Chain A
């Protein structure tokens, strides 16, 4: 395996979400008043678990079919690469994803919205990136849904991602959006990131249909986790 990154700078705050967020009370109740303390980076932050497969069991990459029966909705493939800040593919990253069904409802007892559940759609998956940092899932396009008690804020269709990379400091939890959705421009979570380019990078790109042989739509989405190398890559 290639060496993991060894340099981790602080995030650029303009490219990361700022709280509180209007109509999202938990962004007040659950975020500290006090600014976080700046600590030195020690070995326990530079390291992380490299063998999560035995514990978290990746391999569930087709969400669109359950027991041989297809889920409702538009069949899509979502894939791309996990990169570090030097643009190197990050192998052996555990990728977790979860999403609502085509009607915008989650298979989760906490989602009690009056929208239909799909008996053939659970909506979560896991995989491990290959040696080039690539990941991919077949699924259906999630629906939008309104946020309760929010003055009619609707979440645009989105997919949640959780990445467990080669160091504690390369942990990332994010959401992926779909290109061209009019709700994107009004989404309070996307807008909590000030930098417009950073917002734009959280929107996936549609693969031209001519490049796909099967009957699904394709979306590519690369995600960048923190970490640089003392030795820069050759170009």
Chain B
């Protein structure tokens, strides 16, 4: 018997497998600053490059992983009804992008340095949420990228704060010069390794 208003059970996750279509990827899918390939990039905020390498147990490259990024705009807002300030959000900023890793496990996103915001959980430091899909990953692996520019805000972030202090630096991207005349930040992911090496992931 199903009770009135009894919830349906979410469908089981499965891996993307080894054959996620390459033709699903188009130029600029990994560019969060534009709504579409032929749209102009947003003019609000500092454009930055987030790049890195995805490694699996033993340090080998995790090839053909799909990374999906989602973040607030430069003002810390989302074009979404769950944001009370959605009407003030940057209309030209996509905030979502998808990248896939090459033969060395490398990925890159072009985006805007996000803004922080306050909600019921506290004050979120500027951050980018990453979801990772790959053959053998049966459920999306999720983690969050923080920036060294905001040390004080990072120290008060309610999500970063659930990690033991020794692991928090692992989720802070590392400045690594310039790419395409933008500041570049490196964020590597080790999917499985020793406790002091493995990237911290959150329960999705």
The residues of A with any CB-CB pair to B shorter than 8 Å are 1, 3-4, 6, 10-12, 15-19, 21, 24-34, 36-52, 54-57, 83-87, 96, 98, 100, 106-111, 122-124, 126, 160, 162, 166-169, 171-175, 189, 192-193, 197-199, 201-202, 223-226, 228, 232-233, 235
Contacts and interface: CB of A to CB of B under 8 A. Distances in A.
Nearest to B16: A173
Interface stretch (B42-50, B77-85, B146-154, B172-180): B77-85
A174 B13 contact: yes
The A contact surface, by secondary structure, is loop
Contacts of B191: 29-32
A33 B57 CA distance: 10
Contacts of B11: 172, 174, 201-202, 223-225
A173 B133 contact: yes
A21 B10 contact: no
A66 to B, nearest CB: 13
A12 B83 CA distance: 28
Interface string B3-44: 011011111111111111111101011000001110100000
Nearest to B82: A46
A224 to B, nearest CB: 5
A38 B9 contact: no
A173 B13 contact: yes
A38 B4 contact: no
Interface of B: 4-5, 7-24, 26, 28-29, 35-37, 39, 56-58, 60, 62, 64, 68, 70-72, 78-83, 94-96, 117, 119, 121, 124, 127, 129, 131, 133-142, 158-159, 162-163, 191-193, 195, 198-204
B203 A201 contact: no
Contacts of B95: 49
Contacts of B28: 55
Contact of A42 (B26, B131, B158): B158
B201 A106 contact: no
Contacts of B62: 30
Contacts of A41: 121
A207 B24 CA distance: 30
A32 B29 contact: no
A54 B38 CA distance: 10
B193 A33 contact: yes
B14 A45 contact: no
B195 A33 contact: yes
A84 B158 CA distance: 27
Contacts of A47: 70, 78, 80, 82-83
Contacts of A51: 35, 79, 94
Given A108-B21, A124-B23, A48 B70 contact: yes
A180 to B, nearest CB: 19
A27 B56 CA distance: 10
A50 B35 CA distance: 11
A30 B13 contact: no
Contacts of B124: 42-44
B12 A54 contact: no
B12 A193 contact: yes
A98 B19 contact: yes
14 contacts: A10-B203, A16-B13, A21-B138, A28-B192, A37-B202, A39-B162, A43-B78, A44-B70, A44-B127, A49-B70, A51-B94, A108-B21, A173-B133, A224-B9
